[in-house]
Amino acid sequence: MAYSAPRGTVDIINQAPKWQQLEQLLRTVCAYYNVSEMRTPIFEHTELFNRAVGDTTDVVSKEMYTFQDKKGRSITLRPEGTAGVARSFVENKLFANPEKLQKYYYMGPMFRYERPQNGRQRQFHQFGVEMLGVESPYIDVECMVMAVSIVESLGLKDVKLHINSLGDEESREAYREALKEHFKPALKDLCYDCNQRFEKNPLRILDCKVDRAHESMKDAPKTIDYLSESAKAHFDKVCSLLDDLEIEYVLDVNLVRGLDYYSHTVFEVISDDKKLGTGSTVGGGGRYSSLISELGGPEVTGVGFAFGMERLLIAAGDGLNEEEGLDVYVMPLGDEARDLSVQIVTMLRANGFSCDMDYCERGLKGQFKSADRFDAHFSMIIGEEEVKNEVVNMKCNHSKEQTVVKLENIVSFIDEHYGEGDHHE
């Protein structure tokens, strides 16, 4: 039987250096924003996602990888990261920390049973940030500025920040009623799911894929028209702060997001890059005001966002450079030279150089090809003569210069002859 990876999953092989660079860049940005890492489990109790993400969402009702463990407990592979961080925040009483604002980031695999396509997988990766504990619109803006600065540092072009507000409890209640009134006459034409949503959570009718083109969708009420005074004040402050910081944004009154925990500000980073397809969402987020209390914590709120890392990589294209090559590739000819080479690579690695050697007992031609493929700065050739004379032959693959170097001088030779900035620090 031939084995293949499950549909919607991929092996990361040649792209691994780009992933590492992306991860490094994201960690650096987090350090600039004073955001520390949190690692939560990849599976959680199913109930957590039902409660946090909402059981009328597509993510929970259609896309979760849920199974029973050996004791019959219902377990789900995390479809997103916010629920786990919120659970941990409550469980570990992080709200009691003297530092009221807690900022965390995470990156790792998430699982959604979706139809795979470019930038959409069943196992995909998210980088996410959650800032918990403070209600202020300044934090909404800090999240948005951070998201924008990430896409900028990756050199993504044609990206726009879309923002909207869903308002507080009071606004959402008024909006819910308005939606019900609006969709009631159309119910008989809408799908079964929308009829269910009408009762449980009419907001979710707006992201129905079946009824997307229905007449009633076009003139559906907008959240922005139902904001309470305090919700409006919060959102006005968000907009004026973005203006002050000269962050461009699109006020997108149709943006409602597909997860139930949001209130107040919601936002998405949308790319028109051809590699991803026009209008693709690379990341999204918003404020969640009642998630923590719903999970048994105090009345504190959070705001955050997550990027799809596959989508960031596709959109970044060549914006991330390939990995640097090896410092030295050691090329022995014959058994004695191989024995000496093992000593040399061990010594070089201990001195902080990246290096490798040929173990395949090949002639020079094949070994030079490997040095090329590994983009080695130096090829070190060791034949019988060199072993006898206790020297090696160093070829700089950039200048093509060859030098005979005594064994004891190898490290100082490399140090001296490395072009500036070439050496892996």
* Smallest distance from ligand HAM to CB 92, Å: 18
Closer to ligand HAM by CB, 112 or 197: give it: 112
Q: Of the two residues 15 and 354, which places its CB atom closer to ligand HAM in the complex?
A: 15
Q: Say which residues have a Cβ less than 8 Å from residue 194's Cβ, sequence separation at least 6.
A: 183, 187, 205, 208, 210, 211
Query: Footprint of ligand HAM on residues 102-161 (CB under 6 A)?
Result: 112, 114, 119-121, 124, 126, 128, 130
357 strand-pairing partners: 330
How far apart CA 276 and CA 147 sit, in angstroms, is 18
Q: Closest CB to ligand HAM among 202 and 286?
A: 286
Binding string to ligand HAM for residues 294 to 333, with x set by CB under 6 A, is what? Answer: ----------xxxxx-xx----------------------
Min dist. Cβ of residue 81 to ligand HAM (A): 6
Q: Are 202 and 176 in contact (CB under 8 A)?
A: yes
Q: Which of 76, 265, 281, 370 binds ligand HAM (CB under 6 A)?
A: 281
Say how many residues touch ligand HAM, by CB under 6 A. Answer: 27
Q: Which residue is nearest to ligand HAM (CB)?
A: 308
**CA–CA separation, 267 vs 317, rounded Å?**
24
Cβ pair 316, 322 in contact under 8 A: no
In this complex, which beta carbon is closest to ligand HAM, that of residue 54 or of residue 284? 284
Question: What SS3 class is residue 349?
Answer: helix
Alpha-carbon distance values, 25 to 28, 103, 147, 282, 303 (Å): 5, 18, 13, 16, 22
- Rounded alpha-carbon distances, angstroms, from residue 103 to 42, 168, 301: 20, 22, 12
By CB under 6 A, residue 285 contacts ligand HAM: yes
CA gap 140, 134 in Å, rounded? 10
Which stretch in 77-85, 153-161, 289-297, 314-322 sits in contact with ligand HAM by CB under 6 A?
Answer: 77-85
Binding residues for ligand HAM (CB under 6 A): 80-82, 112, 114, 119-121, 124, 126, 128, 130, 258-259, 281-286, 304-308, 310-311
